[in-house]
Amino acid sequence: MTGLNDPGPAPPAAPAPQSAEAAPAAPGGTARGGAGTVLVRTPATSANLGPGFDSLGLALALYDDVEIALTGDGLVIEVEGEGEEVADRGERHLIVRVLRRAFDAIGELAGTGPFQPGGLRLRCVNRIPHSRGLGSSSAAIVAGLVAARHLHPDGRLLDDGVALRLATEIEGHPDNVAPCLAGGLTVAWTTPGGPRLVRLDPQVRRVVAFVPEHRLATERARGLLPETVPHADAAANAGRAALLVAALTVPGVDPAALLDATEDRLHQRYRAPAMPESARLVERLRAAGVPAVISGAGPTVLAFTTASQVDSMAPEVGNGWHKHPLDVAPHGAFVQDGGSEARP
């Protein structure tokens, strides 16, 4: 039995501070001339963080494990935990589709043409809740890309930029795939030349996720967004998003600024009809002084606070929520190789 109370094996030690260059971090290391089996671990992620719509993302230390083996023929898929109901999708399974696309992309880059293995065996141990706003689809996409990078003989050609581009094309936006690839706090954006990201080390080390039992499809939540918003709201969000990056990363910033920094006017109120309980929980927590936001497209609520503080606020939280303290994950997806973690 897997779930949020079992976040998965511990990730590698935290990386040394990195400069905030406008380039994506390496997802899971380079290929070693191709290999027969690979185990990839991918973190949960929370996007938007309030005002950073489709841009800001945070990696969380809750992991899915994906083991992929090249076989002689056939396709075998085993799923434990979340997503067991999609184990019979065969070639339509998201990770399989990503693997196929990544193998073809690497072949095109190498000039050797399409490459597809004779067979695949896929085993997933999923702990990230599905359709809850914690990046389960991004974790699957990144797992497939990192695995292809490791398994293909020319996998080194699936470099940082290509991985981010493919992940964004498949997911539709970079806000979750960026922290899943790079870890920490990420700022992602798109350019005519493709998506980019900056990775930052947040001062906040732990958050609390309130996960409801019910799911919410991202497509439904996005469908509630208006085509235009008032200029004043857009301006307010721009200022809050800038303040949020400072509040999360700059030592010495007044912690109280985080409450103002997580205010949103672009998406949360428009999506509230699809998740009224989540919207009300955000309101109650914020009224009590807790910086709380909808995680991604919801319905999970993310609070920048401690479990002990939340324990003292039982009336504000109410019933019907699974409360889970989660560390911020300093690393993105990584490969376990021969019993040790392979990092770039």
- Give 191: exposed, middle or buried? Use CB within 10 Å, 0-12, 13-18, 19+: exposed
**What span, in angstroms and rounded, lies between the C-alpha atoms of 130 and 109?**
33
Alpha carbon dihedral 47, 55, 166, 152, in 10-degree steps, equals: -60
Cite the annotated binding site by residue number: 129-139
CB 174 within 8 Å of CB 49? no
Question: DSSP class of residue 323?
Answer: E
Q: Pairing state of beta strands 74-81 and 119-126? A: parallel
Residues 76/122, Cβ–Cβ less than 8 Å: yes
Report residue 119: phi and psi, to 5°: -155, 165
User: E strands along the chain, which residues?
Assistant: 37-48, 52-71, 74-81, 119-126, 185-191, 194-200, 206-211, 292-294, 301-303, 322-327, 334-337, 340-342
Task: Determine the Cα–Cα distance for residues 33 and 35; give it in Å rounded to an integer.
Answer: 7
Both tokens of 116, joined, read 């597809």
User: Helix 160-171 vs helix 94-110: angle between axes, to the nearest 10 degrees?
Assistant: 140
Known binding residues for ATP are 129-139
DSSP state of 37: E
DSSP string, 51-88: TEEEEEEEEEEEEEEEEEEEESSEEEEEEEETTGGGGG
